[in-house]
Amino acid sequence: MRRIVRRIVGLALVFAGWGLLQAGDWTQFRGPGGSGISAEKELPTHWSKSEGLRWSVELPGRGLSNPVLAAGKVYVTACSGYRQRRLHVLCFEEKTGKKLWERQFTATGSTACHPVTNMAAPTPVTDGKAVYALFATGDLAALDAQGNLLWYRSLVGDYPEITNQVGMASSPVLAKGVLCIPMDNVGDAFLAGLDAATGQNLWKHKRKAQLNWVTPVTFPLGERTAVLFQASDLAEALDVQTGKVIWSFASPGLSTIPSPTYAEGVLYLTSGRGAVLAVKPQPDGKSEELFKAENVLAGYPSPVVYQGKLYGLTDVAVTCTDLKSGTELWKQRVEGKFSASPIIADGKLYAINEKGRGFVLDIRGDKPKILAKNDLDDKIQATPAVANGAIYLRSDNKLYCVGK
């Protein structure tokens, strides 16, 4: 019994960071574990430009990155200037929106990209002690909560063959003190594990040269913590501490845009054709394929697994799939297009379209109910963040805190 308790506590610590994080923090792309789920209760359901906002602040430039929050601070990245060569990391006080500090960097890699994206596309990750900000230029900085620079890397300076002129967007993830840097591109492609304390390589795993915008997901696999990085034809999981491949799943047509997710022993791999493939990874490297749900995704948004159901977003609908059978339970029409992934909290699904219209759906019953359509009338591509009773929405030039 004591052993089980110790293991539960150990796992909780691993996935809660290193003790500084609070239960309601939102620490990485799509929140804790990349799940898109918040344990928050009674989140706001109605807001507009003039109502329901705790605060809003101007940002110095564009970003697709979502804000991350820990220990009362909100961290945001942005890019600005001619050809997006100026990179920003900003820190705001969670309660008031007061800017606490801003640090800037100059792009050392190429800033060429498709107009839909920009250099602040990857979401930073925080453990409460530090924030780790990766930019599409391959510039990577670690700053403590007071804005002190802990370390900096120019990945394109280190590995000059890195190249992706469509623009990179995969976000870093953090587990067991290892910062996992996804760097799939058409030149020197890799997944690297960096010592979060120093920024130096612990391991660097070579990958097939290809474009890929998927964010890795960490999950427990037997006694180990694995980091899964999916690309178009292969999902591979590496031991986060050694960088050794401990599980892989080959399948043509996996997605390079929506990210996979993990829940209760199952990986939900995204397919390039809007499908989700449920696969149970085994510690011995084997896999059990559970089901394939078709037409549940489209475009950019990633799926969310919540209370036995899988939720996805297409350009025109929220989709809901039963996890036991892999069959569709319902589809609810909403107005797209969506760049941001949906998030779920307290039985409600939040989906924000590119025009800044936020749909709030009650998903507790057999059929969904639209609770609100909230207009900010602002271009929003970033996935929302949720922390401590508030929702954070980030547009091209503003950060909104929705809450009391």
Partner 1 sequence: MSRERPLLGLAWLLATLPYGLGAEPADSPAALVERLNKIGREGQGNREGAAAWKKLTQAGPEGLLPILRGFDPERSPVGANWLRPAFNALAEEALRTKKLPTEELTRFVQDIKNHPAARRLAYEALLQADPRTAEKYLPGMLHDPSPELRRDAVALLLDNAQKLLQAGEKESAKFVYEKALQGACDPDQVETIADALKKWGVSVDLQKHFGVVHQWYLAAPFEHAGGSGWEVAYAPEKGVDLQATYEGKEKLVVRWLPVRTRDAQGLVDINKAIKPYKGAICYAYAEVQSPEEQSIEFRAGSINGLKIFVNGELIFAKQEYHHGMSIDQYIVKGKLKKGSNRILLKVAQNEQKEPWAQRWAFQLRLTDSVGAAIPFSQKEAK
Q: Which residues bind partner 1 (CB under 8 A)?
A: 81-82, 101-106, 108, 112-114, 139, 141, 143, 147-154, 157-158, 163-166, 186-187, 194, 198-201, 211
Q: Which residues contact 70 (CB under 8 A, 6 or more apart)?
A: 17, 20, 21, 22, 25, 26, 27, 126, 127, 128, 131, 145
Residue written as tokens 């359901």? Answer: 45
Alpha carbon distance 213, 29 (integer Å):
12
CB of 168 to partner 1, least distance (A): 11
Q: Cβ distance 38 to 137 under 8 Å?
A: no
Q: Which is nearer to partner 1, 188 or 378 (CB)?
A: 188
Q: Which is nearer to partner 1, 180 or 323 (CB)?
A: 180
392 HSE (CA, 13 A, CB side)? 29
CB of 130 to partner 1, least distance (A): 11
CB of 350 to partner 1, least distance (A): 33
Alpha carbon distance 220, 258 (integer Å):
21
Which of 58, 376, 377 is closest to 391 using CA atoms?
376
Q: Cβ distance 338 to 301 under 8 Å?
A: yes
CB of 87 to partner 1, least distance (A): 9
- Lateral strand order in the sheet of 385-387: 53-58, 398-402, 390-394, 385-387
CB of 138 to partner 1, least distance (A): 11
Residue 231: phi and psi, rounded to 5, are -135, -170
Tokens linked to 122: 């990857």
- List of E strands, 9-157: 37-38, 53-58, 68-70, 73-80, 86-93, 99-106, 125-126, 130-134, 139-144, 149-154
Q: Which is nearer to partner 1, 209 or 329 (CB)?
A: 209
Q: Which is nearer to partner 1, 64 or 113 (CB)?
A: 113
Q: Rounded to the nearest 5 degrees, what angle is found at the Cα of 292, between the Cα atoms of 287 and 296?
A: 135
Q: Which is nearer to partner 1, 115 or 365 (CB)?
A: 115
CB of 361 to partner 1, least distance (A): 36
CB of 239 to partner 1, least distance (A): 21
CB atoms within 10 A of CB 322: 15
CB of 76 to partner 1, least distance (A): 15
- The dihedral built from the CA positions of residue 176, 168, 137 and 129, taken in this order, carries a sign that is negative
Which of 281, 240, 265 is closest to 14 using CA atoms?
240
CB of 205 to partner 1, least distance (A): 15
Q: Which is nearer to partner 1, 76 or 293 (CB)?
A: 76
Q: Which is nearer to partner 1, 80 or 321 (CB)?
A: 80
Tokens linked to 336: 């797209």
End-to-end CA distance of the chain: 43
